[in-house]
Structure 1
Amino acid sequence: MNNSGTFTKLRPQSLLKQLFNCSESICLQVFSNSVFWWVYLEEGKIIYATHSVEPFDRLERHLRRLSHQIPSLTSEVRVQLRLMFESDTHSQVVEHESNSINQPPEYQAIQWLISQQYLHSTQAAVLIPELVKEVLESFLLIKEGTYELTEPLNRMPIICRLNVENILERCQARLKSWKSFEPQISSPYQRPYLLITGKPSKQNLPDLQPNLTNWMKGFSLRHLAVIMNQDEIELAQNLYPYIIQGGIILHEPDPPFDQLPNTLEDLTQSSKLITLVNQKLVDVAEELSTTNSKSYPNIFEDNKTTEQLPQFSESLKENLQKLTITNNINPVIERVAAATVTSKKTYKIVSVDDSPTILKEISRFLENENFSVVTINEPLKAVMSIIRHKPDLILLDLNMVGIDGYELCQIIRNNSLFKEIPIIFVTGNKGIVDKVKARLVGASGYLTKPFTRAELLKIVFMHLT
């Protein structure tokens, strides 16, 4: 077999199976649609596999699952892990060229967890197959790309050895389950939105968990499953009837997850049309969910759904009518908020920044998610305000006039009332020195500017749940 090639004839699954009988240490490096995959093999067994799309997000999710059985894997330990081992974006680009000869940083992080006795080697041997399966699921969906076989200069410490055929069989079974939801669900990174909260007319639809409706605010199916401590396929099965009926709509994955291949073989003109329609509905849903409570016009009034959508050609309208699933849900639109579903604690968040623009954006992102946000634009007066408000979480800008975030964080931590309060640095600095220094002064996490609403919600929820 050649040491390099393309996937024009040789499919990803066939390539891996050919490596099953290899007796050497090999790194398979694959490139497709701006994404790198690395599969490390030792004597025909898989040692580890990773890809370049948010590897520490993947590790965080699986560690959070394990934390239900392993109390030592606290959120503080998981944050420390990211501060120590996660590279910034520039470093990741450089590492693409050397990752085949060096250990992946998240693999080093797992070894550190073992060395510090946060994780036993037998527990790590349970964690790694789950990480590998998730990576290989996306790898098997590659349709076009290049591959290269290299021999690592340094042997990776082996935590477990995985049989290629067995793990491929499990991945294929998992992909078959995902494909059963096509075309409504094409990626586990799609983000569900609850569009209609009216009571379904069909009584055979399952009830959604109240907690699930609270969290359905921009998180992907994969992230939601972790938050709910539920299997991804089971979660998709629970949501699928509502997706079919139109009560839940799916937004396409956020960058960079949109670079990963999806389960659909081809995006036909019709499925592209469905995407456009869903995008329009998501825009409506987000607009409703970010507006103060009031009476909303019925967008499905007189069942003229098609007229509310963007203007398409007559032929596309005909296709749309054939593809549109009848909406049997009560068409009354309500504002989707936690208060409409169940009583829920309102968390108080203090945001300290000398930029009114940043404070305004943070308030806009958070206040509509049942958070009470207190903004402080005079950092020198922040300590007394924080003591007075007693927040559940603090967002702290790093670079401010008069006092920097490091000093302010240290002062806050010296107060016994705030020893355990999560403090998240919000900054444009991406260097490893900044992250280490943040850890030393007691920061709980790190949010890099510019950030999206989903990124802000993800780190806030991670530290409040």
Structure 2
Amino acid sequence: MQGNLNEIDICSILQLIELGQRTGQLWVESHQTYQGNKIGSNNPPYNRSATESQAKSWFVFFLNGQIVYCQAGESNLSRIDDYLRHYRVEKRLNRTQIVALASTNSPEYAYIWLLLEQNIITPQAAKNIIHGLVHETLFDLLSLHQGSFIFDLGTGLVPQLTSLAIGDLVTKITKQVQEWKQLYPHIQSPEQLPILADLPRLTESLPAATVNKLQNWADGKVSLRQLARYLNRDILTVAKAIYPYVQQGWLQLVYSGTSTPSMTTSTWEEKNKYKGRVVCIEDAIAICENVESILRPQGYEAISMTKPLEALSLVFQIKPNLILCDIAMPELDGYEICAMLRHSTAFKLVPIIMLTGKEGFIDRVRASMLGATDYLTKPFTDTELIMLVEKYIDKDSSVKI
């Protein structure tokens, strides 16, 4: 069995494997290419855009229609080491033993068994680690909408330590994925890194013990997912716990390789004079390049993003003076992005200009109802774009359609 996830979703694939009581291995790959900006680069903002390719894969092992184990791509065993930190396990395998694991069908699974055989961890701890890894892998898979998969019938992983029934697990995690989406745009990805953004406010508003914990974890080096492993909690529980602080702006979430927005902004503004920062959220690279080529010579800092989910997180870091947003995009459309941004106090007054190839009264009304400031129909001329940006670039402008 093989195919694409736009033809059959992960939930249905898992149900088929469960109903058929299949034994074997499911391989899933998701490949995404997007244009984004790495905040914290040594280059000035106007020269800081790059196209990134992000390919991810997962393996799910089954025995008689139940899940035995899940592995994320070609694991380097760091996932398990994160869990070992929770159990305060100091002893590790030697290099020779770890190298030998590479020849096994699942190095991670073999790693857990070797730890168990050498009494480094208990059987219950081993089961808990496996359950945690299965849970986080299924959380990622059930969030996927694009990708490819192959299921191969074969022998199960041996020896078998535990197994999990698919039905109840999928129901539980699907509900968590739906709740996770409600945290947008403040929390986007389990791979985001929390950092302290307003320590004085945290100190004034929270108990000292809570502030100490936040200072310990929110160092810009530990991802939400790692934190979940350290605490032996699911990612949704961790995200909900920090959500109020992120919403207040006391904590900020960044991606690996980025620095705090305030550092980048202050450095840029001290060294350069510019009219304002414009973010363009548009899945068509040609249009992004066109917007940049029009606005940059006019003295604007133009930053393009072609993936709406990543863009939602980055705009909170970049703090643009104006946002250009396409309506028809995958993952999230422009209406959803506009509505999410308007729910944040940080973007109550930031002008949001909707870009679309559609012409119609209904589209304009819908955009206005969701908080859009204005509307620009594609294709547009240089003059049309410049005049509209100049009209609304004043951050105090809040004129609606």
TM-score, normalising length: structure 2: 0.56
Structure 2 CA distance, aligned partners of 1:159 and 1:166? 19
- Deviations along 1:241-268, one digit per CA (max 9) or x if unpaired, are 221122221113569xxxxxxxxxx999
Question: Which residue does the alignment assign to 2:223?
Answer: 220
8 A contact 1:273–1:320 mirrored in 2: no
Structure 1 CA distance, aligned partners of 2:216 and 2:133? 27
Match of 1:192 among 191, 194, 205: 194
Question: Which residue does the alignment assign to 2:383?
Answer: none
Question: Which residue does the alignment assign to 2:90?
Answer: 75
Question: Which residue does the alignment assign to 2:71?
Answer: 50
Q: What amino acid is the match of 1:28?
A: L
Q: What SS does the aligned partner of 1:64 have?
A: helix
Question: Which residue does the alignment assign to 2:239?
Answer: 236
Question: Which residue does the alignment assign to 1:37?
Answer: 58
Kindly state the Cα deviation for residue 118 of structure 1 after the two structures are TM-superposed.
Answer: 2.2
Structure 1 CA distance, aligned partners of 2:157 and 2:311? 49
Structure 2 CA distance, aligned partners of 1:230 and 1:4? 33
Alignment map for 1:72-221 (pairs within 5 Å): 74-77=89-92, 80=93, 84-85=97-98, 102-152=104-154, 155-199=157-201, 208-218=210-220, 219-221=222-224
Structure 2 CA distance, aligned partners of 1:31 and 1:85? 26
Kindly state the Cα deviation for residue 83 of structure 1 after the two structures are TM-superposed.
Answer: 6.7
Structure 2 CA distance, aligned partners of 1:51 and 1:182? 24
Structure 2 CA distance, aligned partners of 1:321 and 1:11? 26
Q: What SS does the aligned partner of 2:3 have?
A: strand
CA RMSD, 1 decimal: 3.7
8 A contact 1:61–1:226 mirrored in 2: yes
Q: What SS does the aligned partner of 2:85 have?
A: helix
Distance 1:198 1:156, change over 3 A: same
Question: Which residue does the alignment assign to 1:246?
Answer: 249
Structure 2 CA distance, aligned partners of 1:201 and 1:116? 45
Structure 2 CA distance, aligned partners of 1:270 and 1:30? 23
Alignment map for 1:270-285 (pairs within 5 Å): 274-280=312-318
Number of aligned residues: 265
Q: What amino acid is the match of 2:60?
A: V
Structure 2 CA distance, aligned partners of 1:154 and 1:229? 27
Kindly state the Cα deviation for residue 66 of structure 1 after the two structures are TM-superposed.
Answer: 3.1
Structure 2 CA distance, aligned partners of 1:269 and 1:155? 37
Distance 1:7 1:27, change over 3 A: same
Question: Which residue does the alignment assign to 1:330?
Answer: none
Kindly state the Cα deviation for residue 60 of structure 1 after the two structures are TM-superposed.
Answer: 1.3
Please identify which structure carries the higher strand content: 2
Q: What SS does the aligned partner of 2:70 have?
A: strand
- Deviations along 1:327-383, one digit per CA (max 9) or x if unpaired, are 6xxxxxxxxxxxxxxxxxxxxxxxxxxxxxxxxxxxxxxxxxxxxxxxxxxxxxxxx
Distance 1:86 1:191, change over 3 A: farther
Distance 1:168 1:253, change over 3 A: farther
8 A contact 1:188–1:222 mirrored in 2: yes
8 A contact 1:191–1:253 mirrored in 2: yes
Kindly state the Cα deviation for residue 216 of structure 1 after the two structures are TM-superposed.
Answer: 1.5
Q: What SS does the aligned partner of 1:162 have?
A: coil
Question: Which residue does the alignment assign to 1:28?
Answer: 26
Structure 2 CA distance, aligned partners of 1:54 and 1:254? 21
Q: What amino acid is the match of 1:133?
A: H
Structure 1 CA distance, aligned partners of 2:308 and 2:126? 44
Distance 1:87 1:144, change over 3 A: farther
Match of 1:64 among 81, 85, 104: 85
Structure 1 CA distance, aligned partners of 2:217 and 2:124? 33
Q: What amino acid is the match of 1:60?
A: D
What is the percentage of aligned positions where both structures have the same residue?
A: 25
- Deviations along 1:111-161, one digit per CA (max 9) or x if unpaired, are 112221223434423321111111111111111111112133675321112
Q: What amino acid is the match of 2:91?
A: E
- Deviations along 1:24-53, one digit per CA (max 9) or x if unpaired, are 421111111222211111111111111116
Q: What amino acid is the match of 1:20?
A: E
Q: What SS does the aligned partner of 2:184 have?
A: coil
8 A contact 1:21–1:43 mirrored in 2: no
- Deviations along 1:74-132, one digit per CA (max 9) or x if unpaired, are 2232xx267733699xx8xxx8xxxxxx5210111111122212234344233211111
Farther-moved stretch of structure 1 (54-63 vs 267-276):
267-276
Structure 1 CA distance, aligned partners of 2:151 and 2:325? 48
Kindly state the Cα deviation for residue 20 of structure 1 after the two structures are TM-superposed.
Answer: 0.5
Kindly state the Cα deviation for residue 206 of structure 1 after the two structures are TM-superposed.
Answer: 7.1
Distance 1:185 1:241, change over 3 A: same
Q: What amino acid is the match of 1:84?
A: Q
Question: Which runs of no fewer than 5 residues in structure 2 stay unpaired?
Answer: 32-54, 259-282, 284-304, 327-337, 347-401
Structure 2 CA distance, aligned partners of 1:269 and 1:122? 41
Work out which structure has the larger RCO, using CA pairs closer than 8 Å and 6 or more positions apart in sequence. 2
Kindly state the Cα deviation for residue 214 of structure 1 after the two structures are TM-superposed.
Answer: 3.5
TM-score, normalising length: structure 1: 0.49
Q: What SS does the aligned partner of 1:37 have?
A: strand
Structure 2 CA distance, aligned partners of 1:227 and 1:149? 32
Distance 1:224 1:149, change over 3 A: closer
8 A contact 1:62–1:131 mirrored in 2: no
Q: What amino acid is the match of 2:344?
A: I
Question: Which runs of no fewer than 5 residues in structure 1 stay unpaired?
Answer: 68-73, 96-101, 256-265, 281-308, 328-465
Distance 1:117 1:251, change over 3 A: same
Structure 1 CA distance, aligned partners of 2:76 and 2:181? 24
Q: What SS does the aligned partner of 2:128 have?
A: helix
